[in-house]
Chains A and B, each alone.
Chain A
Amino acid sequence: MNDEHFEPPYLFPDYRATVLRAPQHSHVKLPDEWFHRAAGPAFGRIPVRPEDADLTRQHEGEPLGERIVLTGRVTDSDGRAVANTLVEVWQANAAGRYVDPVDDHPAPLDPNFTGAGRCLTDSEGRYRFTTIKPGAYPWRNHTNAWRPAHVHFSVFGPFLASRLVTQMYFPGDPLIPHDPILNSIPDPRGRELLISRFDIETTVPEWALGYRWDIVLRGGSATPREP
């Protein structure tokens, strides 16, 4: 299967920052044993505390916003669970503002929300975070540019080729058709893979709405991406 249309290109001028940062040479393709099946980074030095999985409990009080549970499975492309791998998330608060000092969007910070979390997948490859739904926010890519609500994910996996940094979106977000970052993925089925689904089974009664989003990592027997 040619899955190239499921990945964004490096150069996508609608997302302006790609223009001077996209390499112009093709990647040098290495044999699978040297790259695709090579062991991934030993991430064990990155601290993971139990409270890192609940982004609503990292401060004195409760953050403002819609409380959500975000969960899913991490598998390889053969559907096998990827257990004990590190999942890192980060996001804006409910008003669409990041704690990061680089963010100058004039929306309020929430003293009870940082927006960063970590957890290890369990033996079935499952991850689970409690957080609040992030807000949309403007960026200066083009006139009236707004990012749809999203949560950033970083996942390691067992192989060098499994490393993944991506963004998860929410179903029905009206900004999705206008977002050059998500729409850099040529095939609409690829874009769909980044949209979580609301799940009444995950929803915790009287407490938090549930969203499910599964992650499939490269590596192992998967067809490597072409340069």
Chain B
Amino acid sequence: MTPTPSQTVGPFFGFALPFEGDAVAEPDAIRVEGQLLDGAGEPVGDALVEASQGGQFARCRTDGEGAFHFLIAKPDEGFFDIVVFARGLLRHLNTRMYFPDAEDAVLSAVAAARRRTLVARREGEVLRFDIRLQGEDETVFFA
């Protein structure tokens, strides 16, 4: 059977998909902050980003600056699966956010020059993980 085709999440999901505490997979855990950017380097303010690993799941709608955040605990696997939905994305995008110093076969399989788009970096108390949909430093997306 043919899988049902995808369509964009559109701009008007903000009253429906967010839920109380949606960005907090683990309270008092690590705060991840990031920004979603388009091919012109402009913030994508109408997107939904989901992060999951094991039993942890978090969802965050981007704000007007394209900013999103999560509270998550570092998993043994060293990475989170990240899914991006946005107006203008007819299909969602899958990527991974690796913790600094994490290594695995998937990361090694990615061309060295693009690998850093998958790795969060420490910025004081938080982990910084930006996602670039297009252009220079375009994030690696998986299928």
With CB as the reference atom, state the residue of chain A lying closest to B88. Answer: A17
Asked whether B71 is an interface residue with its Cβ less than 8 Å from the other chain, the reply is no
Using A79-B1, A102-B14 as known contacts, say yes or no to A42 and B57 having CB atoms under 8 A apart. Answer: yes
Number of A residues with CB within 8 Å of any CB on chain B:
77
Contacting residues, chain A, for B10 (C-beta < 8 A): 152, 167
Residues of A within 8 A of B139 (CB): 23
Q: List CB contacts (< 8 Å) of A85-110 with chain B.
A: 88-90, 92, 98-103
Say whether A114 faces chain B, with CB atoms less than 8 Å apart: yes
Q: Which of B3, B81, B139, B142 has the most CB of A within 10 A?
A: B3
Q: Once bound together, how far apart are the Cα atoms of A224 and B19, in whole Å?
A: 31
> Could you tell me if A3 and B90 are in contact, using CB atoms closer than 8 angstroms?
no
CA distance A35 to B93 in the complex (A): 12
B2 to chain A, nearest CB (A): 5
With a cutoff of 8 Å between Cβ atoms, the chain B residues found around residue A92 in the complex are: 12
Chain A residues near B141 (CB-CB < 8 A): 23, 25, 27-28
Interface of B is mostly: loop
Do A115 and B90 form a contact, CB below 8 Å, given A8-B6, A216-B4?
no
Task: Judge whether A226 is part of the interface by a CB distance below 8 angstroms.
Answer: yes
Size of interface on B: residues with Cβ below 8 Å to A: 60
State A39–B83 Cα separation when bound (angstroms).
Answer: 14
Contact partner of B6 (CB less than 8 A), chosen from A7, A41, A114, is A7
Residue of B at shortest CB range from A155? B4
Interface string of B76-94 (1 = CB under 8 A from A): 0000010101111111111
Contact of B89 among A21, A30, A90 (CB under 8 A): A21
**Residues of B contacting A15 with CB < 8 Å?**
8, 88, 90
User: Are A24 and B135 within 8 A (Cβ)?
Assistant: yes
B85 with A216: CB separation less than 8 A: no
Task: Confirm or deny: A209 has a beta carbon within 8 angstroms of a beta carbon on chain B.
Answer: no
Task: Report the minimal beta-carbon distance from A42 to chain B, rounded to whole angstroms.
Answer: 5
Contact yes or no, A98 B12, CB < 8 A:
yes
Q: Which of A43-51, A122-130, A200-208 contacts B (4 or more CB under 8 A)?
A: A43-51
Distance in angstroms between the alpha carbons of A191 and B92 in the assembled complex: 18
Point out the residue from B1, B12, B50, B87 that lies within 8 Å of A41, measured CB to CB: B50
A-B contact pairs, 21 of them (CB 8 A): A17-B87, A18-B88, A21-B89, A21-B134, A23-B133, A27-B142, A28-B110, A30-B106, A30-B142, A41-B52, A42-B56, A44-B57, A77-B3, A88-B17, A90-B12, A100-B12, A160-B81, A181-B8, A190-B2, A194-B4, A224-B143
